[in-house]
Amino acid sequence: MALTITCPICGKRNGYEFRYGGEEKGPRPDEKDLTPESWCDYVHMNRCVAGVQQEWWFHRDGCGSWFTIFRDTTTNLEKETPEAKE
């Protein structure tokens, strides 16, 4: 099964042109009141969803954009929205 990723600049391209950038975790936590726990949570922790997740990609062998998409981790298919089913 081929993975394709839609770059906001270049459009739908072969997935191997991109580097996976991790699960979308919201904004980087504020330096103020930062605890080892909240920093660790942001840096390391994942939900590992078996289903649709929002995630970051970097168009490494292309325009260099960073962007998020929704993808079903059980099929490797891109989805329009988080709720999208088959």
Partner 1 sequence: MFSKSKPMWGKKTKLKSSYDVVLIGGGLHSLATAYYLAKEHGITDVAIIEKNYIGYGGAGRNTAIVRANQRTQYNVPLYKEALDLWPVLTKELDYNLMFNNCGNLNLMHSEAAMNAARMTIATAQFHGVESHLIDAKEAKELVPALNISEDITFPIHGAMFHPPGGVVRHDAVVWGLAKGASKLGVEIHQQTEATGINTKNGKVTAVVTDKGVINTKQVLISAGGYSAALIHGFLGIKLPISVLTIQAMVTQPLKPILNHVVSSGAYHCYANQTLKGEIATGAHMDQWPNYTTLNTAHYIKHQAEALSEFLPALRGVRFMRIWGGLADMTPDMAPIMDGNEQVEGFFMDCGWGYFGFKSCSAVGRHMASFMATNTCPDILKPFALKRYQEHKLMGETAALVSYTPDN
CB of 79 to partner 1, least distance (A): 14
Site map (CB under 5 A) of Zn ion, residues 19-58, x = contact? ----------------------------------------
CA distance linking residue 46 with residue 19, whole number of Å:
17
The amino acid occupying position 28 is R
In the three-class reduction of DSSP (H, G, I as helix; E, B as strand; rest coil), residue 83 is classed as coil
Using CB under 5 A as the binding rule, the residues of this chain from 7 to 26 that contact Zn ion are 7, 9-10
Binding site residues, Zn ion, CB under 5 A: 7, 9-10, 59, 62-63, 65
